[in-house]
Amino acid sequence: MSDYPYAGRFPVQRRLPDQGRPREELLAELAAMAAEEDAFWETGKCSGTMYCGDHDHYAFLARAFERFAHVNALQRDLCPSATKFEGEIVAMALDLFHGGPGAVGLVTTGGTGSILHAVLAYREHAADRLGGRRPNVIKPETAHPAFDKACHLFGVELRRAPIDPVTTRVDLDWVADHIDDATVALIGSACNYGYGTVDPIAELGSLALERGVGLHVDGCLGGFILPFGEELGYGVAPFDFRVPGVTSISADTHKYGYAFKGTSTVLFADKALRDAQYFFLTDWSGGKYCSPGMEGSRSGGLLAATWASMVSLGRAGYRRYAAEIFSVAAAMQDAVRSHEELRVLGDPTFLFSFTSEAFDVYHVNDFLRDRGWRLNGQQYPNAVHMAVTRPQTQPGVAEAWAADLAGAVAYAREHAGSTPKSGAIYGGVAGGMTDEADAFIKAVMADLLDRQSGLPPEPAAP
Ligand SMILES: *Cc1c(COP(=O)(O)O)cnc(C)c1O
């Protein structure tokens, strides 16, 4: 069987068709694929990914998008609206995170984009002071790989601080011991992707102030939901610009901001940091080229849709969704805690992770997968996590979780001696990679990319 999707059902375009195909036919194919793919997560059994999961909301965003989808936000003379959208998205985010009078921000293409911009800003801002020496940043091991990617791309040294195995929060003493005069920033997550736990931001802030370095808070995942968890009394400690020492924050509108994929915000306490990462080429024959961040052309539609998501929900809408999500997350965690074989890691929020000392927790995942659940696998220790989003807040999902989890624990006990089928995979894409040599991992990646962008074999000539 070919793993090429939809082969045999819809025509495979091997070359640009000579004559275009009818729009109605294409729209019907798209509708069929979308309906099947939506049915998978509409059950509420899929961790993360579909943060809003509300087709009315998506249709509304699509209407906002459609007005400006063709517009290039880089050319503001043609679209003053993009300035309004971007300015207001940044202003609303700064308001949520208590930005002071000098605080500014950018809208980027996603969480990775925001983190890349922040790391570049810290590097450039410190360039004169370092005079050619290599800058470094210190991240908790649990902080997102986008920091490693940014350091890799920008030639910054990354120091990975261990975490406390019980709380899963960063080891502050290790961080303090590894700051030197080339350290440009510390990182803390609110919250991290793996465990849904929040690093000790206040303590990191004091350390950053004392040692004269920046502190970036990664709120990519939690930025647009944790502030409402705090308001609702879920014991979320402040992690934003109220905390002395916090100099920048990343927060994804395309996660709990409930906007379309392809937007995020990066916010700076001080304009000087943002201004460190402009790019300009004033003597190019094509004209004077200046870009505010790393991107070139950008879609005005994404700015319009993100703006529309935030303004249509408002604080009340975000708070209502957060209340539902936090309450379901608590119920789902209670179900985990009711099994003595399972252990929740740290003190999580709307996203929780659990492991087991009684058996390999991937046996639990194997059983849950057969019941239609899609959780994310982790390693060191083996664990699985569930990021609770709006699809889980439908009636019956938390109850189905409790029932299936009980079945899964029984299954895991029976299979404790054998090797589980599932493993630790980010986003469900690559398999079989642990500590193998780079060459092997590259071969696996190449194979994966070939399969994700290749075509099925040509049918034999008749
Ligand atoms: C998703 C995520 C990111 C990176 O975001 P992308 O949008 O996937 O680029 C960064 N940090 C955390 C904690 C995240 O969950």
pLDDT 10s digits, 391-423: 999 999 999 999 999 999 999 999 998 999 887
User: Measuring CA to CA, which residue among 221, 277, 279 is closest to residue 253?
Assistant: 221
Say yes or no to pLDDT of 425 above 70: no
Establish if 208 belongs to a structural domain.
Answer: yes
Counting from 1 in the atom list of ligand 1, the atom nearest the Cα of 261 is 7
Establish if 363 belongs to a structural domain.
Answer: no
Say yes or no to pLDDT of 2 above 60: no
Please give the distance, rounded to the nearest whole angstrom, from the Cα atom of residue 380 to the centre of ligand 1: 20
Query: Can you tell me the distance from the alpha carbon of 157 to that of 137, in angstroms, rounded to the nearest whole number?
Result: 6
Establish if 316 belongs to a structural domain.
Answer: no
pLDDT digits (tens, 9 = 90+) for 194-242: 999 999 999 999 999 999 999 999 999 999 999 999 999 999 999 999 9
Say yes or no to pLDDT of 430 above 50: no
What residue type is assigned to position 165 of the chain?
P
Counting from 1 in the atom list of ligand 1, the atom nearest the Cα of 221 is 15
The fraction of the chain above a pLDDT of 90, given in percent, is 85
| pLDDT at residue number 429 | 41
Let me know if 5 is exposed, middle or buried by CB neighbors in 10 A (0-12, 13-18, 19+): exposed
What residue type is assigned to position 47 of the chain?
S
Query: Can you tell me the distance from the alpha carbon of 297 to that of 292, in angstroms, rounded to the nearest whole number?
Result: 11
Considering only 74-83, 223-232, 244-253, 396-405, which range has the smallest mean pLDDT?
Answer: 74-83
> Is residue 189 in contact with ligand 1, taking CB distance under 6 Å?
yes
Number of folded domains in the chain?
1
Q: Return the residue whose CA atom lies nearest to atom 7 of ligand 1.
A: 111
The three-state secondary structure class of 94 is: helix
Task: Provide the token pair at 384.
Answer: 């699985």
CA 391, distance to chain mean position in Å, is 17
Please give the distance, rounded to the nearest whole angstrom, from the Cα atom of residue 47 to the centre of ligand 1: 14
Establish if 229 belongs to a structural domain.
Answer: yes
Give the range of the structural domain holding residue 206, as residue numbers without chain letter. Answer: 66-309
Going across the sheet that includes 383-387, the strands are 342-344, 351-356, 383-387, 376-378
Establish if 131 belongs to a structural domain.
Answer: yes
> Is residue 144 in contact with ligand 1, taking CB distance under 6 Å?
yes
Please give the distance, rounded to the nearest whole angstrom, from the Cα atom of residue 406 to the centre of ligand 1: 31
Query: Can you tell me the distance from the alpha carbon of 98 to that of 242, in angstroms, rounded to the nearest whole number?
Result: 6
Say yes or no to pLDDT of 1 above 50: no
Please give the distance, rounded to the nearest whole angstrom, from the Cα atom of residue 426 to the centre of ligand 1: 11
> Is residue 220 in contact with ligand 1, taking CB distance under 6 Å?
yes
> CA angle 419-422-425, nearest 5°?
135
Please give the distance, rounded to the nearest whole angstrom, from the Cα atom of residue 111 to the centre of ligand 1: 5
Q: Which residues contact 205 (CB under 8 A, 6 or more apart)?
A: 215, 243, 244, 245, 246
pLDDT digits (tens, 9 = 90+) for 114-134: 999 999 999 999 999 999 999
User: Measuring CA to CA, which residue among 56, 212, 57, 32 is closest to residue 122?
Assistant: 212
Establish if 291 belongs to a structural domain.
Answer: yes
Counting from 1 in the atom list of ligand 1, the atom nearest the Cα of 222 is 13
Establish if 58 belongs to a structural domain.
Answer: no
| pLDDT at residue number 436 | 56
Query: Can you tell me the distance from the alpha carbon of 398 to that of 415, in angstroms, rounded to the nearest whole number?
Result: 25
| pLDDT at residue number 431 | 45
> Residue 293 — pLDDT band, cuts 50, 70, 90?
confident
Higher pLDDT, 457 or 375: 375
Establish if 134 belongs to a structural domain.
Answer: yes
Strands in 329-453 per DSSP E: 342-344, 351-356, 376-378, 383-387
Longest dimension (CA), the chain: 76
Counting from 1 in the atom list of ligand 1, the atom nearest the Cα of 110 is 7
> Is residue 253 in contact with ligand 1, taking CB distance under 6 Å?
no
Please give the distance, rounded to the nearest whole angstrom, from the Cα atom of residue 192 to the centre of ligand 1: 9
Counting from 1 in the atom list of ligand 1, the atom nearest the Cα of 112 is 9
CATH number of the domain where residue 283 is located: 3.40.640.10
Say yes or no to pLDDT of 424 above 80: no
Query: Can you tell me the distance from the alpha carbon of 352 to that of 346, in angstroms, rounded to the nearest whole number?
Result: 9
pTM across the whole model: 0.94
Q: Which residues contact 18 (CB under 8 A, 6 or more apart)?
A: none
> Is residue 111 in contact with ligand 1, taking CB distance under 6 Å?
yes
Are 343 and 165 spatial neighbours (Cβ–Cβ below 8 Å)? Answer: no
Average model confidence (pLDDT) across the chain = 93
Say yes or no to pLDDT of 154 above 80: yes
Say yes or no to pLDDT of 427 above 90: no
Say yes or no to pLDDT of 428 above 50: no
User: Measuring CA to CA, which residue among 379, 392, 351, 323 is closest to residue 196?
Assistant: 351
- Rounded average pLDDT over 456-460: 77
- Rounded average pLDDT over 334-339: 98
